[in-house]
Structure 1
Amino acid sequence: MDELKSLAVFAAVVRQGSMSAAARRLGLSASAVSQQVRALEQLHGVTLLHRSTRKLTLSDAGARVYAECAQMVDAAERAQRQLRTTRDEPTGELRLAAPIGFGPYMATALTPLLAAHPALSLRLLVDDAMIDLIDARIDLAIRVGRLPDSHWVAQRLCAMRLELCAAPGYLARHGEPRTPEELPGHHWLSQSGTATAARGLQLRRADGETRELHLTPRIASNNQLLLQQMCTAGLGIALIGSIDAHGDVAAGRLARVLPEWQLPAFDVWALTPQRDAQPAKVRHARAVLGDFLRALPGTEP
């Protein structure tokens, strides 16, 4: 590594035309620059520069070495520019992972960022499984709920709730539950493999009264969007994320069931593999996703 530094100093001397000019360019003393070049000559037993009191000239060996050194310095400067660009400007491929239900929100949120930065590309991986950030080379992942212990860096973006919902047609045929105790008599649509499925349905009313129910699903799926579609089709009652339920409730396709009873809020997190030296594409994407999600109906700060 010291030899590479000496080669860069030698290239600066040739480019600047003198030891003193190279010293000013590099922020070194003239004697330090001279020592670097002399050490390089002594190490390899070749003369690179012919020195006189008035000027420096390249030897034949020095001319050949300088041509290679100039390419090395140019490559290093290009690398430095690329590092600055990566730090300051969203460029390159952004690899983002999110649960399937969040995919449409990610695409919408990131559209202005992609439009503003043509050098930025996106690879969006949507999967309800816990993708390993390192193995999949993920820059940024969106996760919901309690996070397992890991060395990933997590930043909370917002919170959302799950809501009991059913289609108006289903409620017209089967009756609308008035108390939590009536829920076991209804068709239950459940997302398998979730904490709610494992622990049971935990409901709380504003006066502090709580209920915990273990419901047997008529339909179970690992895909929340599929369950929402079947709920909208009138096949039963389901837990729908507040941001997903809002549009169907507003359009009359779904109705909230037992609205006076609430489920615990779930935090939405942005995960990155590292805390320090995050490139601009990750910082910008995390910021726009946070702003977008917090502005959605059904989320909480």
Structure 2
Amino acid sequence: MDDLKRLALFAEVVRAGSLSAAGRHMGISTSAVSQQLRALEQAHGVTLLHRSTRKIALTEAGARLAEHCQALVDAAARARQQLTLARDAPEGELRLSAPVGFARHVAPALAPLLAEHPGLRLSLLVDDAMIDLIDARIDLALRAGRLADSNWAARRLCSFDFVLCAAPAYLARAGVPQAPGDLPAHQWVGGGRDGTPLAVELNGPAGERAPLRIEPRVMGNNQLSLQQLCAAGLGVMMAVRADIDDDLRAGRLVPVLPGWRGPRIPVWAVTPQRDGQPAKVRHALEAIRRYLLTVPGAVD
């Protein structure tokens, strides 16, 4: 490593035309420049230049070496430029993971970024399963809810409101709940498995809390499928406001107990490291966060 530094110093001496000018540019004294050049010559047993503080004269060996040393300095400058690009300009492949229900937000969030930076490529892995992010070489993963302990860095992007909803046909048939205490008597669509009751806590308009235990009629681990089953009239559902916005606007679902809502669910960006993230990750993370805050039911 010392040899590389001395070779770079030799190139600067040749470029600057004197030891003193090279020293001023490198931020070291003229005597330190002279000592480093002498060490380089002694290490290789060759005289590179005849020198004084004001003037240098390259030997034949020094002239041949100077060309290669300058090439070395130029290559180092190009390497630093690549590091700057990686830090400042999003490019290369971005490997992003998202749950199925959340993937609908990826396109509107990242399309402007991809359009602006043609050197950026997106590889999107959509899966509700908790995949191994290291094995899948994921740069950025979107997660919702409580996170399992890991060595990855997590940043909260926003939170989503949970709301109660049902299809108009179901409510016409089963009746409209008037209070949280009416809900256990209704059919439910939810994420429980193997008949396990769901623990649900509703928050009222005046800060009231209503804990409930619900036994879903329809269960599953895919949010989109559950949402479709709820719209088909199979029961009441606790859903993320952002996920059902289209169904609410179209009238396929309507709010139930609109003054009450479930606890907010945090949305996270999970990355391999907290510091020194490449530009592709930083820009994508900010683009997703900005978009999510425009989604109905999202709060900072």
Q: Which amino acid aligns with 1:77?
A: A
Q: Give the Cα separation in 1 of the matches to 2:75 and 2:237.
A: 59
| 1:252 positional shift | 0.6
Asked if 2 retains the 8 angstrom alpha-carbon contact of 1:188 and 1:215, the reply is: yes
Higher deviation after alignment, 284-293 or 249-258: 284-293
| 1:186 positional shift | 3.4
Matches of residues 52-67 of structure 1 in structure 2 within 5 Å? 54-60=55-61, 62-67=62-67
| 1:168 positional shift | 1.5
1:95 aligns with 2:116: no
Higher deviation after alignment, 218-227 or 281-290: 281-290
Q: Give the Cα separation in 2 of the matches to 1:71 and 1:276.
A: 32
Segments of structure 2 that go 5 or more residues without pairing to the other structure are: none
Counterpart position of 1:221: 220
Segments of structure 1 that go 5 or more residues without pairing to the other structure are: none
1:78 aligns with 2:78: yes
Q: Give the Cα separation in 1 of the matches to 2:59 and 2:253.
A: 82
Q: Which amino acid aligns with 2:170?
A: Y
For the aligned residue pairs, the C-alpha RMSD in angstroms reads 2.6
Asked if 1 retains the 8 angstrom alpha-carbon contact of 2:94 and 2:281, the reply is: yes
1:119-173 Cα shifts (integer Å, max 9, x gaps): 2222222223334444433333222222334443333222112222222222223
Identity %, equivalent residues:
56
SS in 2 for 1:177: coil
Q: Which runs of 4+ in 1 moved over 6 A?
A: none
Asked if 2 retains the 8 angstrom alpha-carbon contact of 1:200 and 1:212, the reply is: yes
Q: Give the Cα separation in 1 of the matches to 2:102 and 2:289.
A: 13
Asked if 2 retains the 8 angstrom alpha-carbon contact of 1:17 and 1:56, the reply is: no
| 1:63 positional shift | 4.7
Q: Give the Cα separation in 1 of the matches to 2:144 and 2:42.
A: 63
Asked if 2 retains the 8 angstrom alpha-carbon contact of 1:163 and 1:245, the reply is: no
1:253 aligns with 2:238: no
Q: Give the Cα separation in 2 of the matches to 1:25 and 1:170.
A: 79
SS in 1 for 2:86: helix
Counterpart position of 1:266: 265
Q: Which amino acid aligns with 2:189?
A: L
Counterpart position of 1:109: 109
1:218-240 Cα shifts (integer Å, max 9, x gaps): 32221111111222222332222
SS in 1 for 2:214: coil
Asked if 1 retains the 8 angstrom alpha-carbon contact of 2:18 and 2:56, the reply is: yes
Q: Which amino acid aligns with 2:241?
A: S
| 1:117 positional shift | 1.8
Matches of residues 186-265 of structure 1 in structure 2 within 5 Å? 186-192=186-192, 200-265=199-264
Asked if 2 retains the 8 angstrom alpha-carbon contact of 1:8 and 1:69, the reply is: yes
1:157-209 Cα shifts (integer Å, max 9, x gaps): 2211222222222222333333434434433222247xxx7761212322444
Q: Give the Cα separation in 2 of the matches to 1:211 and 1:276.
A: 42
Q: Give the Cα separation in 1 of the matches to 2:197 and 2:153.
A: 27
SS in 1 for 2:38: helix
Count of residue pairs brought into register by the alignment: 297
- With structure 1 as the length reference, what TM-score do the two structures score? 0.86
Asked if 2 retains the 8 angstrom alpha-carbon contact of 1:50 and 1:59, the reply is: no
Q: Give the Cα separation in 1 of the matches to 2:59 and 2:99.
A: 63
- With structure 2 as the length reference, what TM-score do the two structures score? 0.86
Counterpart position of 2:183: 183
